[in-house]
Amino acid sequence: MAQTMVGWFRIALLLFALVLPATLIAQAGPENTTQPRHGLMWNKTGLPGVFPLLVKTNVGENYVLLLSRAETGTDAFAAFIVGGRFFKVLVPPGTYRVRFAAGVRWQGEDAMFGRQGETKVIELPEALTFEVHGFGTKAGHKIDLTDRGSGEMAGLRVEPELICQRIAWDISQCGTAGGATLIGCNGDHASGGLMPFVGRRFKLRTVVC
């Protein structure tokens, strides 16, 4: 009787060992091959995106933009670009190595556009730094991938992309300048005898430099 019980126990363990891997695979399921939306995929830096990165591409291929920390090589930031569409994203501060994976049919983050040569990799030779210049100028970059007929790197162009912040008067408020006509006021305010620019506020304007 005891030997029979041991035999059944061994058979049960064998069946369990055979069934468990199949169950785990079924639970994991296939990799998601749905093409990502045009724009940010993920940001692993823990910092907000504030510096501009503009990328120009051609119709016919899609791209994954990959930024990795220049010091450590760790993945930091990724975005998906539909070829030919306007693309501009805000990048966290730092210095990054920049790579692009290019191809036609998306097959998931591991395979990108395919493992058998379907994925082309373009890497910039120099790291790019995203930082503040002077007072209120956010320094980013513009990358042009539209002229690649003579080779992957021959037509690649990188230019600065700057966002400037300017301080201006908020002219929606009342005030006078040396007895001049009131600015931003109607006739009801004119009899109030306002002091020149009393209570005036500044406002911050953001423009492309």
Q: Which of 67, 66, 64, 68 is nearest to 80 (CA)?
A: 64
Q: What is the mean pLDDT of the chain?
A: 77
**Domain for residue 28, yes or no?**
no
Domain contains 18: no
Instruction: Read off the pLDDT of each residue in 148-160 and give the average, rounded to a whole number.
Output: 64
Per-residue pLDDT band for 180 (boundaries 50, 70, 90) equals: very low
Banded model confidence at residue 169, pLDDT cuts 50, 70, 90: low
Q: Does residue 157 or residue 41 have the better pLDDT?
A: 41
151-155: Cβ within 8 A, 24+ apart: 152/120, 152/122, 153/122, 153/125
Q: pLDDT band at residue 7, thresholds of 50, 70 and 90?
A: low
Query: Do 103 and 192 sit in the same domain of this protein?
Result: no
| The token pair that represents 150 in the structure block | 């003579």
Residue 3 lies in a domain: no
d(CA 176, CA 194): 7
Same domain, 192 and 116: no
Residue, of 198 and 98, whose pLDDT is higher: 98
Report pLDDT for 157.
83
User: What local confidence, expressed as pLDDT, does residue 63 receive?
Assistant: 97
For residue 58, the enclosing domain spans 39-164
**pLDDT tens-digit series, residues 29-79:** 455 689 999 999 999 999 999 999 999 999 999 999 999 999 999 999 999
Q: What is the structure's pLDDT at 4?
A: 52
CATH number at residue 100: 2.60.40
Note whether 194 and 149 are same-domain residues: no
Provide the 3-class DSSP secondary structure of residue 60.
Answer: coil
Q: What is the mean pLDDT of residues 117-135?
A: 92
- Res 114 pLDDT > 90: yes
Per-residue pLDDT at 195: 46
Q: What pLDDT, on a 0 to 100 scale, did the predictor assign at position 26?
A: 40
- Asked if residue 206 is part of any domain, the answer here is yes
User: How many domains does the structure of the chain reveal?
Assistant: 2
Mark whether 103 and 187 lie in a shared domain: no
For the CA atoms of the chain, what is the radius of gyration? 29
Q: What is the per-residue pLDDT for 149?
A: 55
Cα diameter, the chain: 113
Containing 93, the helix (H) or strand (E) segment is none
Strands 39-43 and 94-103, bridge-based pairing? unpaired
Residues 146 and 209 placed together within one structural domain of the fold: no
List, in order, residues 6 or more apart from 142 with CB less than 8 Å away: 53, 54, 55, 56, 158, 159, 160, 161
Query: pLDDT category, 148, cuts 50, 70, 90?
Result: low
